[in-house]
Amino acid sequence: MILLLFVIALMVATFLVIGKNGPVSSSEEPPDQETPGVEEPVEPNPQEILREAVREDWEKGFLILVNKEQGLAEEYVPGDLAEIKYYAKDRSPQWRKMRQEAAEAFHALAEKAQEQEMEIVVTTAYRSYDFQSDLYYGYVSSKGQEWADQYSAKPGTSEHQTGLAADCSSPSVGYQLTSAFGETAEGRWLAENAHKFGFIIRYPEGKAEVTGYNYEPWHIRYVGTVSAEQIYTKGITLEEWLDELALEIGEE
């Protein structure tokens, strides 16, 4: 697992370095053309700005991929979990946390929705390995292995363990996690605006073959605003975005 992450990190680094050094630098011009004290205005290259921002988010761990093929270690607990202010009050307070930057982004999102008379809250966000284990094996014993595998994640393969995912709901669906949420004003607003705050709808409609999950309009995932914007605009998934970044995750 660690080796895999290392290999991936190395690939990202290589990709970014190659990309960065691609264009010929202006510092290779003859020195006599330079005017002392006056800097040539460097034209910002949008591709380079994007790459740099993605690199920063990658380094902060915001692009971590967790799915049915790729899991987290049992002992993985994010170091910067922060309390979420807007939550469904009938759920366990224990799981109202996200990584600091994601929590702040969610607050900004919820407040923007409030301005438009919509209440979007978190039901559960960060969930520990042990919690997921209890949940999954509870389903296995009550509803059988097949059902559990379809509707729940095996321990270590839930994105909620990253501290970057949250299940959202609203009063209009009784704070439940239901696909009907996607048809509410809140659900539609979330789908159209989450990316502005660095979130994506992680399991969009018609992408189950890629993500391994059916449509979940309530499950958002923080990836940072640059990646979220790209994923939203292109209509792709996190898996496909990472593929575009030439990571080829899961191929090793």
Structure tokens at 107: 């607050």
Q: Scanning the structure block, which residue is given the tokens 């690939």?
A: 11
Q: Write out the two tokens for 33.
A: 């053309």
Q: What share of the chain is helix, strand, coil (3-state, %, to 5)?
A: 50, 10, 40
Residue 139: CB minimum distance to Zn ion, A? 14
**Binding residue (CB under 5 A) for Zn ion from 57, 167, 186, 239:** 167
**Site for Zn ion (CB under 5 A): how many residues?**
2
- Shortest-Cβ-distance residue relative to Zn ion: 219
**Which of 195, 219 has the CB closer to Zn ion?**
219
Residue with tokens 């930057």: 101
Binding to Zn ion, residues 178-237 (CB under 5 A): 219
The two beta strands, 81-83 and 216-222, are: unpaired
Instruction: Write down the least CB distance from residue 6 to Zn ion, Å.
Output: 28
CA distance linking residue 173 with residue 126, whole number of Å: 22
Pick 55 or 202: Cβ nearer Zn ion: 202
Is 167 or 239 the residue whose CB approaches Zn ion more closely?
Answer: 167
Q: Are 47 and 245 in contact (CB under 8 A)?
A: no
Q: How far is the CB of 221 from Zn ion (least distance, A)?
A: 9
| Minimum CB distance to Zn ion smaller for 195 or for 202 | 202
Binding site for Zn ion (CB under 5 A): 167, 219
